[in-house]
């Protein structure tokens, strides 16, 4: 994407970010490029192709380290006036058309900072989510401080209640 536009959105070069449309959301790596118009997100058409296809080497990065934007694309063009559905694909190849796809791009939260929606939306801080295998995680520290007790340890479960 355009670097100046990325910086305005709080995106960093080569960072992992969310790209979302009305149809879906993917987490992908963003690379800045000054040679693209400010409101355009560009992707190379060989991304996520099968090795040995499109004259790609069978071990090409594009065949193994890639993403597929088709999850963001509607099967049909949006229509409020046309009665029939019009396919949103190349008429020759059938490839999903993404040249007119409208997306939003937002920074992805670091994996260590991710929280489930039930924790993020709870009005108080009474719900805590974390990794009990990490003695320094918030959930481990709170459990120790509050004298948490294991729930049904005889069944091998690890949830704690306090």
pLDDT digits (tens, 9 = 90+) for 28-49: 888 999 888 888 887 765 455 5
For residue 46, the model assigns a pLDDT of 45
pLDDT digits (tens, 9 = 90+) for 111-142: 666 677 677 667 777 777 777 778 888 888 88
Q: What is the CA radius of gyration of the chain?
A: 22
Architecture of the domain made up of 1-108: Beta Barrel (2.40)
For residue 39, the model assigns a pLDDT of 84
Q: Name 46's Cβ contacts closer than 8 Å, sequence gap at least 6.
A: 54, 56, 60, 62
Q: Name 156's Cβ contacts closer than 8 Å, sequence gap at least 6.
A: none
- Write down the domain spans for the chain: 1-108, 112-161
Higher-confidence residue: 50 or 95?
95
Q: How many other CB atoms are found less than 10 A from the CB of residue 67?
A: 15
């Amino acid at each position: 994407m355009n670097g100046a536009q990325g910086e305005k959105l709080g995106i960093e070069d080569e960072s992992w970010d969310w790209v979302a449309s009305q149809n879906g959301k993917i987490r992908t790596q963003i690379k800045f490029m000054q040679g693209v118009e400010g409101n355009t997100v560009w992707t190379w058409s060989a991304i996520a192709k099968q090795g040995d296809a499109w004259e790609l080497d069978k071990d090409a990065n594009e065949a193994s380290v890639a993403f597929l934007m088709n999850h963001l694309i509607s099967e049909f063009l949006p229509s409020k006036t046309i009665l029939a559905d019009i396919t949103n694909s190349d008429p020759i190849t059938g490839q999903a058309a993404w040249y007119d796809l409208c997306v939003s791009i937002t920074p992805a939260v670091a994996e260590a900072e991710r929280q489930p929606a039930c924790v993020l939306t709870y009005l108080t801080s009474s719900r805590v989510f974390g990794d009990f295998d990490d003695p320094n995680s918030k959930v481990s520290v709170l459990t120790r401080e509050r004298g948490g007790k294991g729930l049904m340890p005889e069944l091998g479960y690890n949830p704690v209640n306090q």
